[in-house]
Structure 1
Amino acid sequence: MYYLGIDPSTKCTGYCVMDEKHDIIESGKIDIPKTGTEAEKIYYQLELLEPLFKKYSITKALCENQFSKLNVDTAIKLSRVSGAVLYLAKKYDVDVELIYPTSWRKVFHGSGKAKKEYTFDKVVALYELEGLKFSKDNDLTDAIGICWACVDLSKEGAAA
């Protein structure tokens, strides 16, 4: 069983594929080109995310949802990226949910109030990742945290 966590962005989208033991199978970042139309940028992300759906039999996916403190323009752009992820999940018949940062952080940290820095530090320590810098790699570490929550929430659902 494989799980997918996605931290969508208009600048850098993080993703992670994990198995049921929380082992990272594949993870990375998609640096979005600075030029091009919004449609071209979303298409670019889909072209790089779709192979994950093809390569792995994804059981469930979690994609971070936008929170209301964003400015309206940013929220709209991020919702379009999330919508594209929902499309891919449907195309490959993968159960997908949008999850707020406080919800996945509660699963990963035990507190929904945990800061991005805490996720970065915990992921780096858990997976012994070296050479990462918070300022440029937090999309990756958030995606790993989201994927971890996806695994745990799936186990809870299976136990219910």
Structure 2
Amino acid sequence: MAEVVVLGIDPGTRCTGYGVVREVSGQATLVAAGAIRPPSKAAMAVRLGEIFQGIALVIQKYGPHEVAMEEVFTHKNVSSALKLGQARGAAMAACAVHGLEVQGYNPMAVKKSIVGTGRADKHQVAYMVAQVLGSKARQECESWPADVTDALAMAVCHLNSRRLAKLVGAVDGMP
């Protein structure tokens, strides 16, 4: 089975988490994880530019083949949803400039894929991501902000979805 490298992104104007995961022969491993933190007092255009540049640098450094990103979900606060959409747009633009399509995932679907329930809390998601990604991730997991573990969960969910799609395709193609 060929190697695939997936960039997971959890967009936000205060903190955009990213996680890079490599899968070879069904085994997922942590490549890199971190957060892009634009200056909180900066104008929105500056913050979006920082997100764009940060994601572009991650793409250049790690060369992902595919990208998974959290979809915008309904917030009680319309202003928060708008800001999240803008952060997502900046990250998507960085991906597009590098020729990468973005697969969007609903947060509840990600939790269900990783933990088994769409109502899992952030600690449960972080724990399961660390278990899936191995010892390096388990050592570092506690020091990561939730945005980083959420981004890694996006990448792992994407890998799960890829595997399922291949299995379904294999079953559909059977005589």
Q: How does 1:112-131 map to 2 (within 5 A)?
A: 112-126=118-132, 127-130=137-140
In the TM superposition, residue 153 of structure 1 has moved relative to its aligned partner by: 1.4
What is the CA–CA distance in structure 2 between the aligned matches of 1:75 and 1:108, rounded to whole Å? 24
SS in 1 for 2:138: coil
Given candidates 99, 112, 132, the residue that maps to 1:106 is 112
> Which runs of 5 or more structure 1 residues have no equivalent in the other structure?
none
In the TM superposition, residue 120 of structure 1 has moved relative to its aligned partner by: 2.3
- Verify: 1:157 aligned to 2:160, yes or no: no
In the TM superposition, residue 125 of structure 1 has moved relative to its aligned partner by: 4.9
1:4–1:61 Cα contact (<8 Å) kept = yes
**Which residue is equivalent to 2:172?**
none
Residue identity in the other structure for 2:9: I
The one-character-per-residue Cα deviations of 1:16-71 (angstroms, maximum 9, x if unpaired) are 11111221111111122111110100101111110222233322111111221341
* Same amino acid, percent of matched pairs: 25
What is the CA–CA distance in structure 2 between the aligned matches of 1:47 and 1:143, rounded to whole Å? 17
**Compared CA separation, residues 158 and 88, structure 1 to 2 (3 A):** farther
- Verify: 1:78 aligned to 2:84, yes or no: yes
What is the CA–CA distance in structure 1 between the aligned matches of 2:93 and 2:16, rounded to whole Å? 16
The one-character-per-residue Cα deviations of 1:80-127 (angstroms, maximum 9, x if unpaired) are 111122212222221212211001111111221211221123334553
What is the CA–CA distance in structure 2 between the aligned matches of 1:45 and 1:64, rounded to whole Å? 15
1:4–1:150 Cα contact (<8 Å) kept = no
Q: Which piece of structure 1 moves more, 44-53 or 74-83?
A: 44-53
Given candidates 78, 87, 112, the residue that maps to 2:93 is 87
Root-mean-square deviation over aligned CA pairs: 1.9
In the TM superposition, residue 141 of structure 1 has moved relative to its aligned partner by: 1.1
What is the CA–CA distance in structure 1 between the aligned matches of 2:146 and 2:40, rounded to whole Å? 19
2:22–2:29 Cα contact (<8 Å) kept = yes
**Which residue is equivalent to 1:141?**
149
> Which runs of 5 or more structure 2 residues have no equivalent in the other structure?
170-175
2:53–2:94 Cα contact (<8 Å) kept = no
Q: Give the TM-score, by structure 2 length.
A: 0.81
What is the CA–CA distance in structure 2 between the aligned matches of 1:82 and 1:95, rounded to whole Å? 13
Poorly superposed stretches of 4+, deviation over 3 Å: 123-126
**Which residue is equivalent to 1:12?**
15
Q: Which piece of structure 1 moves more, 34-43 or 117-126?
A: 117-126
SS in 2 for 1:128: helix
